[in-house]
Amino acid sequence: MMQAILVSTAVTQRMSNDAMTAFSRNDLEQRDQNDPLADLREEFYLPPDLLYLDGNSLGVMPHRTRQRAMDVITQEWGTKLIHSWVDHDWLQAPVRVGDKIAALIGVKPGEVIVADSTSINLFKVLVAALQANVGRQVILSEAGNFPTDLYIMQGLSAFAAEKVSLKTVEPDQITDHLSNDIAVLLLTQAHYKTGQIQDMKKITRQAHEAGVLVVWDLSHSTGSIPVDVNKCDVDFAVGCGYKFLNGGPGAPAYLFVAARHQTTGLPILSGWIGHKDPFGFSDKYVPAANINRFQCGTPSVLAISILECGVDLFGRTEITKLRDKSIALSSLFIDLMDQHCNHLGFELVSPRKSADRGGHVSYAHKHGYGIMQALKQRGVIGDFRTPDIMRFGITPMYLRYQDIFDVVDIIGDVMAGNEWNKAEYKVQPSWS
């Protein structure tokens, strides 16, 4: 059990011994009481006795979501049936919620649409980027990017080998490979394993100077760190709705297409909802002359309505305030781990410098899988990524400083009691 603990007063800085001050759990409770964002926690259903540090994977449920889902099911669908396409704005939901997400990522209304999954949206924007960069056919990405990003590239080039080829290089070599055959650069802004943030502005500028268009995967950025997509002159972006946006399991994703690219070429998924006049039922496909063309089939109304509840909560504060608290929480976590657990084989794989670190903190540990399972038994939920990465999501909307204290306390206990060392934790199931 941790008693008084030492944490850095400058939580956003690397821990330095001369800046150390003694804090107890009571001090952190006090800090929670003084937290201007504390009320936001009340907006979420948080299962009792659970310390949930996995909101970077699946966000928690806003209370409002339950009622909204019931309303959509019973009133809009149940009672009003097909009239709700118009009366309850169902047809506009992808654009309406897209515009709300646009505000979170620093782009104009009409540049984001909610649709499909991130994987499918990646496919759509990669093809759009290839069409917009005539004469070039290579998609460049980094080794170790989130698997779906790499898999979608691979599927695309396997299908259209004569038109698309791939190049994957080590992350620190990306800018050396911006040659004149590269059409598109596909990168993830905050890395799914380490949380490392890429310099979106600088890389996008360097890519443009080399005639390369850029697609950014914002899945671990949106709702977690301030993102200024238009200021960075980004061409295309995609992202998940079920992580920091708290949109629910399998929530629809979103895609951004800069206004300047919206009318180039024909959408690869030329479905009827992306048609200029979906209800004209013409035989000929004519795409909408705006972001609507990046929709394909009928929008998932119930899922978008639920996602909207999560997105709306960002209207209660500012992303910069959430980011400040996120940094304070993650720096506290790292400081506590430094003091209590790092001699136990944990290696910080996330950047220590808070400005370079996104919304999760990851440690490598050779018994990482077993430790995560043991923590689960103790009500601490993080997640594990092969081969040895333990991820802890930092979600300032509902995590408290005292929670961070408790998590590190429990990690210390689990290690002291060898709780991770159980036969059933030795073999990692294929889906975990």
Ligand X SMILES: Cc1ncc(COP(=O)(O)O)c(C=O)c1O
45 catalytic? Reply is no
Report in angstroms how near the CB of residue 4 gets to ligand X at its nearest: 38
Report in angstroms how near the CB of residue 238 gets to ligand X at its nearest: 7
Binding mask 90-129 for ligand X (x = CB under 6 A): ---------------------------xxx----------
384 catalytic? Reply is no
Member of 177, 220, 340, 367 binding ligand X (CB under 6 A): 220
Residue 240 found at the interface with ligand X (CB under 6 A) = yes
CB nearer to ligand X: pick between 215 and 309: 215
Distance in angstroms (rounded) separating the CA atoms of residues 211 and 360: 33
Residue 216 found at the interface with ligand X (CB under 6 A) = no
Report in angstroms how near the CB of residue 388 gets to ligand X at its nearest: 18
Member of 23, 44, 85, 146 binding ligand X (CB under 6 A): 146
Among 308, 311, 357, residue whose Cα is nearest residue 331: 357
Cβ-contact 197, 189 below 8 angstroms: yes
DSSP per-residue codes, 228-288: -TTTTT-SEEEE-SSSTT---TT---EEEE-GGGTTSS--SS--GGGBSSGGG--SS--B-
Total of residues contacting ligand X (CB under 6 A): 13
333 catalytic? Reply is no
Which part of the chain contacts ligand X (CB under 6 A), choosing from 39-47, 102-110, 145-153, 338-346? Answer: 145-153
Within 243-262, the residues that bind ligand X by CB under 6 A are 253
Q: At what angle do helices 401-416 and 368-377 cross, to 10 degrees?
A: 120
242 catalytic? Reply is yes
The secondary structure of the chain in percent helix, strand, coil, rounded to multiples of 5, reads: 45, 15, 40
Distance in angstroms (rounded) separating the CA atoms of residues 227 and 221: 7
Distance in angstroms (rounded) separating the CA atoms of residues 72 and 60: 20
Residue 188 found at the interface with ligand X (CB under 6 A) = yes
Q: How far apart are the first and last CA of the chain?
A: 29
List interacting residues with ligand X (CB under 6 A).
117-119, 146, 148-149, 188, 192, 217, 219-220, 240, 253
